[in-house]
Amino acid sequence: MSSVSERRLRPIYDSLDCGNSKKALQEADRLLKKQPNFACAKVLRALALLRLERHDESRKIVEAVVAELPTDENSLQALTICYKELHEPEKICELYEAVVKKEPTNEEFLSHLFMAYVRVLNYKKQQQTAMALYKAYPKNPYYFWAVMSVLMQASGMDADETSLMSRSVALQLAERLLLKMVSQNKLEVEAEVQLYLIVLEKQENYEGALNLLNGKLANLLRAPNLIKEKRAMYLQKLGRWKELTLFTQELIRQDPSQWSYYETHLEAMFAEIGCPAPLDNGDGACPASNENHTSSTNNEAVNSNHIDKSDEPPADGQVENSEQKAAEGLTAPAESGADGADAVGPAATARFLLQLRMAVDGRERAPLLAQLRLALALRQRRLPQPLPIDDLEEVVRFIRCYGDRPCCFSDVEPVLALVSGDQVSTLLELSHDTVELNDRGVPFSPAAMQRHLTWLQLCQHYSDSGRLGQTRLERAAELRRFHLATAHFSEGLLDTELRPNDHYLTLAVYCLYDEWRATRQTNHLLDALALLQCGMDNSPSNFYFKLAAIHIYHLLGAAGAAYTVYNTLDLKSIQLDTLSYVSSRHVAAQGQLAAAQLVFNTVLKFFNNVKDTTDCLIAAYKVGSFQQIPEFIELKRRLAHSANYLLTLTDCILLDLTSVASQHAQTLELLRYSSLCAAALSPVQWDQLRDNRDVAVLPAFSDTERRQRDAATALSWSQDLHLLRARQLTLRALVTVLRLAPPQNGDMEQVRQLAAQLAEAARPADPALLEDGTLQLSGPLPSRLPRLLRRPHLPLLSRLLETAAELVAGQTPTQAVNELLTLCERLAERPPAGAGPAELFEEAALLTETVGVAAAVWGALHSWTAPTRPTGKRGKKKKGAAPAVTESECLHNRVVNALVALAQSTSRLVEETGASLTEQSAAQQLGHLSLGATPQEGTLRDAADAVRRQLENSYRSSQRELAKVLQYKVEYLTACLL
């Protein structure tokens, strides 16, 4: 394109880049008056129209330009952007296919065609296009694009016998293509060798991969750790355990801080002696995978692959009695039959670790930690300890040496199973001896504070408030005192940095939450919220505080307050899939409908925008990062099968269709302009759905807590799947009814089927789905399913659909209407007296939605039957002109009146609930955390007042929004009377 044309297009580009689509449209119109046939200006005009939501006009312009088939780069790129924003990537392929036919040897067009096929994952066409590129322009990247495309064809095949044969053939083809380049000595860069390794791994040809690492091609691999990790992986896959044990032993000598080497070493050693797995799950049960239970100031991952180093040995790191005994064991003979340095077994590993530990002289914590892991693994496998080392003393030594590091507890927690029940008190006493406090009884330095936190986390692990002679409330108050006394260690930190003393408040909140679980007294949760509010004021970036506050606010039914905190999390990208559930599944269910719409829109915007994943794929091909391509494909698949996405999408559409309209015409208008229904109603691959929630962000301090959390997570996943089925059926039934205008008898058969499926969904085969999981601060909130199934919400909708179908068929469903009225009366019953605030608002919100669905269904029925009723002419009344009311119309009106009564009853429940909870929250007082007349006490009081205001505002807002929707539904239903 000439510089003149580019200069004329610049104002349009600038306006589009600034988001001013209206100005871009004006600039495009101005240019097209001068140059009516300027293809690029036409496409940019279409793009501006598209962003102004004028889709039909935009599409016509795009189709007209494509028919002319421009070949200038600017026009093609603009068309590509249009198709991307229209979510039609296949049209980009068609565009460049036509352009390549016109100019078959144009390198740039062929490259764009290849990337267009990458967008739609058409691996076969990718291969063909890449080979065409290589033949026309023999460059290595094009050749390896073809190889990678063949590899992806193999990876995308199913597991049936035919596909396995095709997969084998595809992998052999990829290997032959690579061998051709190797024989011609044309492999030039590291990425090409890595692709060769990937092909060999897919073939499970690990021997060949090892030979490659031992050959000349390994010289092209620049990352030194890559060769080590690959060699270890291949030895593991080949089952060459002795060789792997000795190899990782050498790696550990070279880098004693790399924790992954120790894990592989222990795994290989036990596999070599024929005892790869633990034998029991009793006292020596293998702990679950580690989490970060450490202070919020710690940016180091728990049990990270690279163990941190210290320039100074620990102050109390002298060798004690058990270590002296172990040192004597170094002179003991190796395992019988072993060959000196090549000996492999527990004794050889224990000697090696002890020698290494003495060599590093306390500068590394990994050798001592590996010794503890070895001792635990031996106990789990019921094997004797090879060296006379006391497990308790070794655990205490680790705490003494490294207790001033934030990662200490998370390191030592998995091996606490080495400490028997009668040794726990001794462990805590000896660990407490490492804590140094000043004359006021508080830590005097950051290191002393961290040792204190390590000891407190040990107490939390053993739930040891009784051993300390304190109640949970006393302990929470003391933890708050420690938090205040150590606040000066955080002076000068930025708002984006976590405070080193934040973990005192985290532990205090756990104590209060446990006290609430034991007593169910709400004031303990309010105390916890007051502490969390103080914490969030002082440490604005602490996500532990925010997630805990969201959890507790939802327990109190204060979804508005939870949403306020949720906004401060500022979730981005993949977090909207893994963490948005903390609020998205409860905010609408507790009456915050406007906030729910905002949450839903944010989450759905992320899922609907697949640009990030596709662009990453294209970039990976361009730079030759072939090993990342399968990872991006897996990420795309994970997002496509996210249960969180489908549940959020379903909730969003149901909210739109049931909460906004006050008359049936508005409901039909909402459905007509909904761009989400097609995606929500597409067939669901239930066996492919994934639970992408990250439920392990908040720490669990013991195996028991983790097991309870895992059980609660598994139960909530099963319940959410059933909930999703029920809500999908509700949405399908509602949309099906709304789209029938007017229905025929055959159409109503589908409605009857959906009614039967809803009735079946109301009777789950597994009684566990009706249970509430164990509540934990570190776990998920209970699913909404039990509340949906315990009352006849689904049976009411099912019977409503059946009744509508019978009325359309000209029947007189007296019995069905009587059953329907009975179900309405049951739903109008008040919740039990002991129901908490969350239960009350969730029941009110669920009733409101049920009334909304029922109103839309009956509104559709009214729109079908009302036109058939004679109305007479307006004007002067005539005697005897009023038509007689038929029995069917009478039944119709009885149903309307029953639904109106249910809506009015729900409205009274909402008003009473909101008023009662607002009054209760205003009367709540701060509990057991008072510090007396101190400035800090005033700060806590201010935080408690802020919490109370948040609760009151949330309850009032939920009451107001639900009452408004119910008023709309009463008007909606009243208009349906015949």
CB 671 within 8 A of CB 738: yes
- Compute the average pLDDT of residues 455-479: 80
State how far the Cα of 650 lies from the Cα of 727, in Å rounded to an integer.
7
Tell me which DSSP letter residue 589 carries: T
Place 256 in a pLDDT band, splitting at 50, 70 and 90: very high
Instruction: Give the mean pLDDT of the chain.
Output: 85
Residue 339 pLDDT greater than 50, yes or no: no
- In sequence order, the 6+-apart residues with CB closer than 8 A to the CB of 291 are 302, 410, 696, 699, 700
State how far the Cα of 186 lies from the Cα of 195, in Å rounded to an integer.
14
Residue 421 pLDDT greater than 80, yes or no: yes
Q: What are 357-388's pLDDT values in tens digits?
A: 888 887 889 999 999 999 999 999 889 888 88
Residue 872 pLDDT greater than 70, yes or no: no
What are 380's two structure tokens?
Answer: 């789990």
Q: What are the distances in angstroms from CA 271 to CA 38, 201, 380, 418?
A: 71, 22, 14, 22
Place 298 in a pLDDT band, splitting at 50, 70 and 90: very low
Verdict on whether the full-model pTM lies above 0.85: yes
Place 866 in a pLDDT band, splitting at 50, 70 and 90: low
Tell me which DSSP letter residue 462 carries: T
- Compute the average pLDDT of residues 781-800: 93
CB 379 within 8 A of CB 282: no
Q: What are 115-163's pLDDT values in tens digits?
A: 999 999 999 999 999 999 999 999 999 999 999 999 998 887 654 555 6
Q: What are the distances in angstroms from CA 57 to CA 43, 54, 494, 910?
A: 11, 6, 51, 46
* Bridge partners, 642 (sequence order): 690
Q: What are 880-934's pLDDT values in tens digits?
A: 555 666 888 888 889 999 999 999 999 999 998 888 888 877 766 655 454 444 5
CB 732 within 8 A of CB 794: no
Residue 464 pLDDT greater than 80, yes or no: no
Residue 493 pLDDT greater than 90, yes or no: no
pLDDT of 468 reads 61
Q: What φ, ψ does residue 258 adopt, rounded to 5°?
A: -85, 100
Residue 284 pLDDT greater than 60, yes or no: no
CB 788 within 8 A of CB 755: no
State how far the Cα of 921 lies from the Cα of 195, in Å rounded to an integer.
63
End-to-end CA separation in angstroms for the chain: 68
pLDDT of 678 reads 79
Q: What is the DSSP string of 506-557?
A: HHHHHHHHHHHHHH--HHHHHHHHHHHHHHHHH-TT-HHHHHHHHHHHHHTT
Nearest-5° angle of CA 777, CA 778, CA 779? Answer: 95
**Residue spans of beta strands (DSSP E) within 747-805:** none
What are 439's two structure tokens?
Answer: 């004359």
**Rounded to a whole number, what is the largest CA-CA distance in the chain?**
119
Residue 293 pLDDT greater than 60, yes or no: no
pLDDT of 916 reads 86
Residue 935 pLDDT greater than 80, yes or no: no
State how far the Cα of 796 lies from the Cα of 762, in Å rounded to an integer.
10
What amino acid occupies position 785? L
- Compute the average pLDDT of residues 863-871: 64
pLDDT of 754 reads 92
- Compute the average pLDDT of residues 322-350: 57
- Give me the percent of the chain exceeding a pLDDT of 70: 87
pLDDT of 313 reads 41
Residue 589 pLDDT greater than 50, yes or no: yes
Residue 613 pLDDT greater than 90, yes or no: no
Closest CA to 271 of 387, 415, 381: 381
Q: For residue 675, how far is the Cα from the chain centroid?
A: 24
